[in-house]
Chain A
Amino acid sequence: QSVLTQPPSVSGAPGQRVTISCTGSSSNIGAGYDVHWYQQLPGTAPKLLIYGNSNRPSGVPDRFSGSKSGTSASLAITGLQAEDEADYYCQSYDSSLSGSTVFGGGTKLTVL
């Protein structure tokens, strides 16, 4: 099991808002490490979606937003579109693992 816990799946209808949680602990997210989010479309490499908890790289629509509080982080997607159907992963670092990079188990987003 992953150090960071994500729900295996979420779904929503076009136009709706969905959130994906990423739950960690006091040795990773709770220790102050930044959380990054990636989108992986079917058959492609992951793409950076959110960095530093809440920042969008150039070219990422503002429909995507990130937040962090305590030992958890969240990715929100508003105005859901069919092209958002993908796997989403959170990533941070863990002091109990010598500062290792850790990923969440991933969440499959289905657009109904």
Chain B
Amino acid sequence: QLQLQESGPGLVKPSETLSLTCTVSGGSISSSSYYWGWIRQPPGKGLEWIGSIYYSGSTYYNPSLKSRVTISVDTSKNQFSLKLSSVTAADTAVYYCARGDILRGFDPWGQGTLVTVSS
């Protein structure tokens, strides 16, 4: 079945750029039926949608993060990526990737990866 796996540094310094990759296995990222999203969860807090991308490259970002976020897709590697610039301690969170469908929600999700912003 479809599986997603996040990867990237677990520690990022303040003011630097957080970079994560989500590798999709068991299915193609090029399906026009779905989009691919990033969601984060600060420790002890709720879920926050960061943004989504279609395989065509069309992107949609959370307005509150839009100025710092870039999501891209690499269909040749069946991966999509997140870059969040100028990070602060407030960006410390577990970052999840997930497959999205406007009619069926986000399913499945990756296991999540904790990114800590600290010097």
Contacts and interface: CB of A to CB of B under 8 A. Distances in A.
B26 interface: no
Interface string A1-18: 010000000000000000
Contacts of A48: 104-108
Given A101-B49, A106-B46, A45 B109 contact: yes
A25 B37 CA distance: 24
Contacts of B16: none
Contact of B62 (A44, A52, A100): A100
Interface residues of B, number: 24
A52 B110 CA distance: 21
**Secondary structure call for the B interface:** strand
A46 interface: yes
Contacts, number: 67
Interface in B88-118: 96, 100, 102-112
Nearest to B107: A48
Interface string B49-80: 10010000000111100000000000000000
Contact of A91 (B63, B106, B110): B106
B109 A46 contact: yes
B47 interface: yes
Interface string A76-94: 0000000000000101010
A2 B47 CA distance: 10
Contacts of A91: 47, 105-106
B47 A89 contact: yes
B49 A45 contact: no
A64 interface: no
Given A46-B106, A48-B105, 6 more contacts: A45-B109, A89-B46, A97-B63, A99-B60, A101-B49, A103-B49
Which 5 pairs of residues, A with B, have the shortest CB-CB distance?
Answer: A36-B105, A48-B107, A101-B49, A106-B46, A45-B109
